[in-house]
Amino acid sequence: MNKLLVPGDRPDDHAPASADYGRLRQLERKLLWLSAWMIHHANNIRPNRDGLKVGGHQASCASAVTIMTALYFHILRPQDRVAVKPHAGPVLHAINYLLGRQTLEKLAALRSLGGAQAYPSRRKDGAEIDFSTGSVGLGVAITSFAALVQDYVRAHGMVAADRPAARHIAIAGDAELDEGNIYEALLEGWKHDIRDVWWVVDYNRQSLDSVMPDRLFGRIEGLFRDMGWSVVSLKYGRKLEAAFARPGGQALRAWIDDCPNSLYSALTFQGGAAWREALTTDLGRSRGVRAIIDPMNDEALAGLMTNLAGHDLPTLVEAFAAAARSDQPTCFLTYTTKGAGLPFAGHKDNHSGLMNAEQMEAFRQQMRIRPGREWDRFEGLDDPDGLARFLATAPYARTLTATGRAYAAPPVAVPQVLPHTPFAGRRLSTQAGFGEILSEIGRGGGDAAELARHIVTSSPDVTVTTSLGPWVNRRGIFDRHTRNDMFRDQKLASAQRWGMSPEGQHIELGIAEQNLFLLLAAAGLAAPLYGARLLPVGTVYDPFVNRGHDALVYGCYQDARFMLVATPSGISISPEGGQHQSNNTPLLGMVQDGIAAFEPAYCDELLLLMRYGFDWMQRPEGSSIWFRLSTRAMSQPERRIEAADVIAGGHWVRPPAPGARIAIIYQGAVAPEAEAAHAMLLEDIPGAGLLALTSPDRLFAEWRSAQQARRSGEPAALSHIERLLAPLCAEARLVTVLDGHPSTHAWIGGVRGQRINTLGVDRFGQSGDIPDLYRVYGIDTDAILEACAAALLA
């Protein structure tokens, strides 16, 4: 077992070496050029076939260039993990280009098919991207949860004890701090005593539509400190600090401190003459101030007044190096100018602004770039050979593995049959069955021992009500510090025996669903980030997937692998009313890329699917898994079913007679109603079939793939749903039912051009019992039979 680091000072080998500011300034200059040129080339030089603005954010890139120069070329170590603000994506691409980790072809194809992505993307840009960013705020927050996951894998001995810990860094735009998910993550991080996290705020005081309010960051700074963070405010660079030390300097400092953000931005755009007029008007009687500003020409004065810390390499490097001596989470409020070094610096409309041809030509000359040499790595810089050697020896340039900065972790063997208590003959819900299966795995015996060791569970304050309690009783709650269960110590009766320690395998979260999905995403990336294989399982109330849906999409977008168990679902949780009921989640599961959605009706199906899920999560071609489960207890059947059919998305409970005229198709908790209706239907239509769907998502995806294959010259390609429906006559009627939105099944009628009647829930629910609600919403036995009669008469 690896000992967790005690909060406090880091070993000396974490301190960066002395900085070579001459070469860092050369690289800063190159990043400013490459990021601006990349965007200009995409918008003005590359052929534009559809006439749409390609876009890009030259000003947002410029404000982050110095920060990223200091980090990537001096401070960062190869194991550090970084989330770069979306609009600085071109700067990150340029950094990787200088380091030989990005190709010229991809830079020149920025924002076009096959080129570098608009915003950093793990899946599209490759392993040099630690965290995808683009959904604002989520890239910042995930660094906090990734640090928690690193603590977890180190505490569980899943990585070498002597491997240096990674630092998790978010380079954030100041407008991102308007996002609520950041503060949910901040609070959760405080609960878990996170370490090794930096949030570097590019405080350029401009958002998409406006200049930021002046007093905002005073409030934000207090919030961070209250959560146990160190807050480092980096406002002024060396030139301004030197001016402040002169006679009259304190008056100048006070004037700048009191200058509204909007005025400061406007003066920055207007330049030296405007600065001089404003200073002379307000401070002209101060001999000390006049002695500072009068000897300067307009260009020098503008340079002094915009000498903010975020554009001053020594200030940044020293602040980062000082913070590197501790593992305390740190927020750097780094003052910058949006568009620094570009002709529209400071203008409030510069967010989407692009340099025109004349401005770019002047910028080219300023950067000493010869026509035709725009992409050369060291064009316009002094001592190219020395810079090449400098880059090769930068700490971040080192690789972690033979293939780069991404680790790999061997797959965990999954038993052919998961341990479980027999289900047949018992009244049980799929939610309870899930809890039993996981609890039996948690015993850690036999060939399930290794599987159990790699599972980590989490839930946003619904651990017990989603049936995770037995697993937690067996495996414990993870905490950096050992904390006793006071009820157990006091010998008070409780079903929950929840001791907390570094050995625990459940991470308890507060009731914020976005945090759950961000944690699942971070844990699902543990293999490439840390070389440790985790099998994350998260439970959440099915309707509240909507609360965290943005973060779920974010996790899937970066190909994180996890198992989502959403329960209870639908109006089947009848007494709890509409806000705890769901109807749209089957559709979300179908349309969401990067996750395979299933809804088993019975526990024998769930057993097969959980085994498949733990395996599928680990395959290169795999994905995350989503189970929609129910609290409705049903009598579990004694039967044999084909695992391949259940996994593919559907199986015949009662196969139809050849050429049958009708079939009832059901999904999930409405199985008893469908079965009862089918039994009655058989009295009039003996050949009628009864089909159980376990995954419309998988069925639909395979059907589309088969259609594409046939269009591509494979006439024999056939999908599982086509094979399932083949025994029915061409004119057969289909009646489908689920406790969810009926359009989940509507597409099935298009498979063979058959008439379909879809039953489901398409309105907000209400309190009641299952018989009443199923009747009111038209998914009970009578409704199914009426739909069958209508279908046969049509």
Q: Are 43 and 55 in contact (CB under 8 A)?
A: yes
Q: DSSP code of 209?
A: S
Interior/surface letters 132-162, b for 16+ CB within 10 angstroms, e for the rest: bbbbbbbbbbbbbbbbbbbbbbbbbebbeee
> For 729, left (φ over 0), alpha (ψ -120 to 50), or beta?
beta
Interior/surface letters 551-561, b for 16+ CB within 10 angstroms, e for the rest: bbbbbbbbbbb
What is the C-alpha separation between 369 and 147, in angstroms, rounded? 42
Mean per-residue pLDDT of the chain: 93
What is the C-alpha separation between 212 and 207, in angstroms, rounded? 7
Tokens at 392, concatenated: 């090769």
The amino acid occupying position 145 is: F
Q: What is the CA radius of gyration of the chain?
A: 30
Largest CA distance in the chain: 105
- Chain-centroid distance, C-alpha 78: 22
pLDDT tens per residue across span 31-52: 999 999 999 999 999 999 998 8
Closest to 674 in 3D by CA, of 789, 783, 568: 783
Tokens at 220, concatenated: 């934000």
Q: Are 479 and 151 in contact (CB under 8 A)?
A: no
Query: What's residue 486's pLDDT?
Result: 57
What is the C-alpha separation between 154 and 150, in angstroms, rounded? 6
pLDDT tens per residue across span 502-525: 999 999 999 999 999 999 999 999
Residue 401 pLDDT level (bands cut at 50, 70, 90): confident
What is the C-alpha separation between 576 and 631, in angstroms, rounded? 12
What is the C-alpha separation between 581 and 397, in angstroms, rounded? 51
CA distances from 146 to 82, 137, 430, 518, 594 (A): 10, 15, 31, 9, 20
Query: What's residue 11's pLDDT?
Result: 45
Roughly what angle, to the nearest 10 degrees, separates helices 603-616 and 430-442? Answer: 50
Length of the chain (residues): 794
Residue 794 pLDDT level (bands cut at 50, 70, 90): confident
Looking at the predicted structure, is the pLDDT value of residue 104 above 50? yes
Tokens 């279908």, located at residue: 791
Looking at the predicted structure, is the pLDDT value of residue 10 above 70? no
Beta strands in 541-612 (DSSP E): 563-566, 595-598
Closest to 728 in 3D by CA, of 663, 792, 785: 663
Q: What percentage of the chain carries pLDDT values higher than 70?
A: 95
Closest to 757 in 3D by CA, of 729, 728, 790, 781: 790
The amino acid occupying position 111 is: R
What is the C-alpha separation between 645 and 701, in angstroms, rounded? 15
Tokens at 77, concatenated: 């170590």
Looking at the predicted structure, is the pLDDT value of residue 696 above 60? yes
Looking at the predicted structure, is the pLDDT value of residue 527 above 70? yes
Closest to 403 in 3D by CA, of 634, 128, 188: 128
Taking the model in full, what pTM does it have? 0.94
Closest to 194 in 3D by CA, of 2, 457, 479, 459: 479
Q: Is 627 helix (H, G, I), strand (E, B) or coil?
A: strand
| Mean pLDDT of all residues in 132-142 | 91
Looking at the predicted structure, is the pLDDT value of residue 268 above 80? yes
Looking at the predicted structure, is the pLDDT value of residue 787 above 90? yes
3-state secondary structure 391-433: HHHCHHHCCCECCECCCCCCCCCCCCCCCCCCCCCCEECHHHH
The amino acid occupying position 532 is: A
Contacts of 493 (CB under 8 A, 6+ apart): none
Q: Is the bond preceding residue 16 a cis peptide, omega within 30 degrees?
A: no
Contacts of 594 (CB under 8 A, 6+ apart): 555, 556, 557, 559, 623, 624
Tokens at 453, concatenated: 């060791």
If residue 453 lies in a helix (H) or strand (E), which one and from where to where? helix 449-454
Tokens at 471, concatenated: 């697993």
Query: What's residue 352's pLDDT?
Result: 80
| Mean pLDDT of all residues in 762-778 | 96
Looking at the predicted structure, is the pLDDT value of residue 201 above 90? yes
pLDDT tens per residue across span 297-312: 999 999 999 999 999 9
Tokens at 525, concatenated: 């990336």
Residue 496 pLDDT level (bands cut at 50, 70, 90): low
Looking at the predicted structure, is the pLDDT value of residue 3 above 50? no
What is the C-alpha separation between 330 and 326, in angstroms, rounded? 9
Looking at the predicted structure, is the pLDDT value of residue 216 above 70? no
The CA-CA-CA angle for residues 116, 331, 137, to 5°, reads 45
Looking at the predicted structure, is the pLDDT value of residue 4 above 50? no
Tokens 């995770």, located at residue: 468
| Mean pLDDT of all residues in 660-677 | 98
Query: What's residue 1's pLDDT?
Result: 36
Tokens 């049959």, located at residue: 417
Roughly what angle, to the nearest 10 degrees, separates helices 549-557 and 513-524? Answer: 10
Q: Are 775 and 783 in contact (CB under 8 A)?
A: yes
If residue 527 lies in a helix (H) or strand (E), which one and from where to where? helix 526-530
Query: What's residue 492's pLDDT?
Result: 53
Q: Are 630 and 429 in contact (CB under 8 A)?
A: yes
| Mean pLDDT of all residues in 386-394 | 95
Tokens at 421, concatenated: 């208590």
Task: Write out the DSSP string of 359-372.
Answer: HHHHHHHHHTPPTT
Tokens at 178, concatenated: 């308007």
| Mean pLDDT of all residues in 604-615 | 98
- Chain-centroid distance, C-alpha 156: 24
Q: Is 167 helix (H, G, I), strand (E, B) or coil?
A: coil
Q: Is 254 helix (H, G, I), strand (E, B) or coil?
A: helix
Q: Are 74 and 24 in contact (CB under 8 A)?
A: yes
Query: What's residue 13's pLDDT?
Result: 45
What is the C-alpha separation between 465 and 419, in angstroms, rounded? 22
Q: Are 54 and 42 in contact (CB under 8 A)?
A: yes
Query: What's residue 217's pLDDT?
Result: 63
Tokens 């755009």, located at residue: 269
Looking at the predicted structure, is the pLDDT value of residue 331 above 50? yes
Q: Are 523 and 536 in contact (CB under 8 A)?
A: yes
Residue 214 pLDDT level (bands cut at 50, 70, 90): low
Hey, which of 65-74, 349-358, 572-581 has the most confident mean pLDDT?
65-74
The amino acid occupying position 451 is: L
